[in-house]
Amino acid sequence: MAAGAAAALTFLSPESRVRAGGVRGQRSPAPVTMDSFFFGCELSGHTRSFTFKVEKEDDAEHVLALTMLCLTEGAKDECNVVEIVARNHDHQEIAVPVANLKLSCQPMLSLDDFQLQPPVTFRLKSGSGPVRITGRHQIVTISNDVSEDDESEEEDEEEEAELSPILPAKKQKGRP
């Protein structure tokens, strides 16, 4: 799916599924289903890394949108550096520090839906945490199935196209 098309779609809660169609009179290539699920993991001295990945056989587009990193109960007043290991536009693996949290000055960081393509690994590079990472796992699926509603709309459009054009009225004989 193109990045522009994905940006135009609205992601919803896991309870709601939406089928996005085209504008009346225009056909979209296929119906799109969007799901959004809560994501969370915790990094600490015991669990220094966590990898988020999806099944390769899946035809859906997966996006991990991070919302917040925060120190949780039991954190010490020390620097906790969290880095993300992911792939760049050339599909090369890169490691980027995204947060330096300290209990006394910056116990949390809002990431405002920072979007990543899986697989993504979160590492606690320094500090003992615990650091909580939260966000949403967004899944966009393009279905190749055509529903009965779409088929009936196609039939209606075909019937309208098969109607003969309107001809001018014939003059009646005997009338001026």
Q: List the chain residues with pLDDT less than 50.
A: 1-25
Domain with residue 44: its CATH number is 2.60.120.340
Identify the three-state secondary structure at position 107: coil
In a domain, 95, yes or no: yes
Q: How buried is 42 (Cβ within 10 angstroms: 0-12 exposed, 13-18 middle, 19+ buried)?
A: middle
Q: Which of 130, 5, 135, 120 is nearest to 51 (CA)?
A: 120
Domain tally, the chain? 1
Residue 69: domain span: 32-142
Give CA–CA dist 111/69, Å, rounded: 8
Residue 30: its pLDDT value, please? 67
In a domain, 121, yes or no: yes
Tokens of 19: 């089928």
Helix (H) or strand (E) holding 65: strand 61-71
In a domain, 17, yes or no: no
Residue 71: its pLDDT value, please? 94
In a domain, 176, yes or no: no
In sequence order, the 6+-apart residues with CB closer than 8 A to the CB of 60 are 139, 140, 141, 142
In a domain, 61, yes or no: yes
Tokens of 74: 């039991």
In a domain, 161, yes or no: no
Residue 19: its pLDDT value, please? 43
- Residue 173 is classified by DSSP as T
In a domain, 170, yes or no: no
Name the maximum alpha-carbon separation found in the chain: 105
Give CA–CA dist 74/70, Å, rounded: 12
Whether 131 contacts 43, CB under 8 Å: yes
Instruction: Indicate the pTM of the whole model.
Output: 0.62
In a domain, 38, yes or no: yes
Residue 2: its pLDDT value, please? 42
